[in-house]
Amino acid sequence: MLTATALGLCALGTGACVTSAAYKTRVETAHPPIGQMVPVEESAVHVIRKGEAGPPVLMIHGASANAREFTWTLAPQLSDSHRVLMADRPGHGYSARPDNAQDLGVQAAQMAGVLDALAPGEKAVIVGHSFGGAVALRMALDRPDLVSGLVLLAPVTHDWGGGGHAWYNSFAAPPLVGPVFSQLVPLVGPGQLGNGINDVFDPAPVPAGYSEKSAIGLLFRPRNFRANARDVKALQDQLAEQSARYGRLDVPIIVFSGSGDTVISPRLHVGQLKQQVDVDLVILPHEGHMPHHGEGEAVADAIRRLASGGNSR
C-alpha cells in the first residue's frame, strides 16, 4: 500500500510532467522552427539560412542558446553579401541529438554535415560563440577542408580546472536522475531567466527584447535542458584532450573577448590559445560574454575580411 509520502511524490511527478508538456507546447508555438531540417548521417540539424549569394558563413551558438542568437544580430549585417547558415547544435533548438552528442567530435561532425549538404566543395568562415567556439575549433581540426577561417566570440577553449558550471547541470545530466529533474525545470527555470541574462551581458546592457528575439525559452523544454547539461558537464574532459591539438591549426583566427567577461576567464581560455597558435585578439573593454551584440559591426567586418580571403589582420 502506498504511503502518503509516496503518493505525494507521485502526484508531484505527474503534475511536473503535465506542466512541462504544456510549457513545451506553449514555447514551441511562440517560437516554431524557422529553418530547414538538414539530414546529417542518421540525424538532422535545424539550419536557419539568410542570404542567397556570396561566400558561406556557418554560425554556431553557445550553451543555453540556439541558432536564433544570430538571426537579429550578425546575420542582417551579412546576408546581402554572404550565405549565412545558423545551425542549432545537437539537442538544442530543433536539431535532433545523436548518440554521444556531448562529444565535441560528434558536434563538429554534425556542423560539418551542414556545410557538406548546403555548401558542397566550399570552405566557410566558422563563427563560434562560447561553447560554439570549442565546436568551431574542433571543425578546423577535424575538417580543415571546410574551414577558411575562424571568428571566435568569448570562446571556451581549454580545461579550466574544475567547477565553473551551474549546480543544476549536475542534477540534469545523469542518466537516472536527469530525466526526472528536467521535468521540474519549466516550473522554476523561466522565472530565473532575467538574472542569468544580466550576468552573461554584464557589464554591457542587455539588448531590448533579447530573450524573446533569441527564443531563450526553448532551453527549458526538458530534453533541451538535459542536452545542455550533458554538454556542459562533459566539456572539461573534452577540452583537455582537444586543446592538445591546437598547435596543428592552420587557419586565420580572430577572437573577440570582453574584458568584463565573468562567465569564463579570458586568461584561462584565450590566453592559453594564444600561446599555442597565432590569434588576432580583439579585446573589448566594455563587453562581457556576449560581444557580438554590442560589437556586432566589428564582428561582421572580421567575418567579411576572412570570407574575402584576407588574413586575420
Q: Indicate the residue type of 72.
A: W
Going by DSSP bridges, is the β-strand pair 124-129/83-87 parallel, antiparallel, or unpaired?
Answer: unpaired
For 89, which DSSP code?
P
Given this model, what pLDDT does residue 193 score?
Answer: 87
In this structure, what C-alpha cell is assigned to residue 277? Answer: 597558435
Q: Is the pLDDT of residue 170 over 80?
A: no
Given this model, what pLDDT does residue 164 score?
Answer: 58
Compute the average pLDDT of residues 174-188.
78
How does residue 258 score in pLDDT terms, banded at 50, 70 and 90? very high
For 194, which DSSP code?
H
CA-to-CA dists, residue 161 to 117, 235, 243, 266, 271, angstroms: 38, 11, 13, 14, 15
In this structure, what C-alpha cell is assigned to residue 208? Answer: 531590448
Q: Is the pLDDT of residue 155 over 90?
A: yes
Q: Are 13 and 182 in contact (CB under 8 A)?
A: no
In this structure, what C-alpha cell is assigned to residue 88? Answer: 542549432
Given this model, what pLDDT does residue 127 score?
Answer: 99
Compute the average pLDDT of residues 189-204.
90
Spell out where the chain has E strands: 36-40, 43-50, 56-60, 83-87, 124-129, 147-153, 253-258, 280-284
Rounded to 5°, the CA angle 66-207-33 comes to 25
> Which one has a higher pLDDT value, 8 or 279?
279
Given this model, what pLDDT does residue 165 score?
Answer: 63
| Cross-strand bridge partners of residue 45 | 38
CATH class of 34-164+235-307: alpha beta
- CB atoms under 10 Å from CB of 63, counted, come to 23
In this structure, what C-alpha cell is assigned to residue 132? Answer: 560554439
Q: Is the pLDDT of residue 83 over 90?
A: yes
Q: Are 128 and 135 in contact (CB under 8 A)?
A: yes
Domain positions in the chain are: 34-164+235-307
The answer to whether the pTM exceeds 0.85 is: yes
Q: Are 126 and 150 in contact (CB under 8 A)?
A: yes
Among residues 154, 137, 125, the alpha carbon closest in space to that of 65 is found at 154
- CB atoms under 10 Å from CB of 151, counted, come to 31
Condensed to tens digits (0 to 9), the pLDDT of residues 54-79 reads 999 999 999 999 999 999 999 999 99
Given this model, what pLDDT does residue 176 score?
Answer: 66
Compute the average pLDDT of residues 100-111.
98
- Which residue shows C-alpha cell 549536475? 170
Burial readout 293-303 (b: 16 or more C-beta within 10 A, e: otherwise):
bbbbeebbebb
Given this model, what pLDDT does residue 240 score?
Answer: 96
Q: Is the pLDDT of residue 80 over 50?
A: yes
Burial readout 66-75 (b: 16 or more C-beta within 10 A, e: otherwise):
bbbbbbebbb
How does residue 177 score in pLDDT terms, banded at 50, 70 and 90? confident
Condensed to tens digits (0 to 9), the pLDDT of residues 14-61 reads 456 767 899 999 999 999 999 999 999 999 999 999 999 999 999 999
Among residues 313, 232, 300, the alpha carbon closest in space to that of 82 is found at 300
What CA–CA distance (Å, rounded) separates 263 from 84?
A: 27
Going by DSSP bridges, is the β-strand pair 147-153/253-258 parallel, antiparallel, or unpaired?
Answer: parallel
Q: Report the mean per-residue pLDDT for the chain.
A: 91
Q: Is the pLDDT of residue 150 over 50?
A: yes
Given this model, what pLDDT does residue 12 score?
Answer: 39
Compute the average pLDDT of residues 256-263.
96
Condensed to tens digits (0 to 9), the pLDDT of residues 201-256 reads 999 999 999 999 999 999 999 999 999 999 999 999 999 999 999 999 999 999 99
